[in-house]
Amino acid sequence: MTMLRRFRDHARIGPVRVATAYDQRGREKHTVACTAPRCDFSADYDSRAAAELAARTHRCPVR
C-alpha cells in the first residue's frame, strides 16, 4: 500500500536533500535522499541531527 507523505522543513546539503515527515504510525521521521544520478542512497532517521550528519558525510559511489 502506498502512502502520500507530506514533507516539511526541507534542506539541501550538496546533492542530498533532508526533509521531515510523519510515518504511518504518526511518529516524526527525518528522511535523507541523494539526488545525484544513479545514486540510490536514502534513509530515515529518528533525529534531525542524525539525518543532517548522514547528509554531510555521504559520498556517492558513482562519479
| DSSP, residue by residue, 16-46 | EEEEEEE-TTS-EEEEEEE-STT---EEEES
Q: Which residue has the cell 521531515?
A: 20
C-alpha cell at 14: 550538496
pLDDT in tens, the chain (63 residues): 456 678 888 999 999 999 999 888 889 999 999 999 999 999 999 999 999 999 999 998 876
Predicted structure pTM score:
0.82
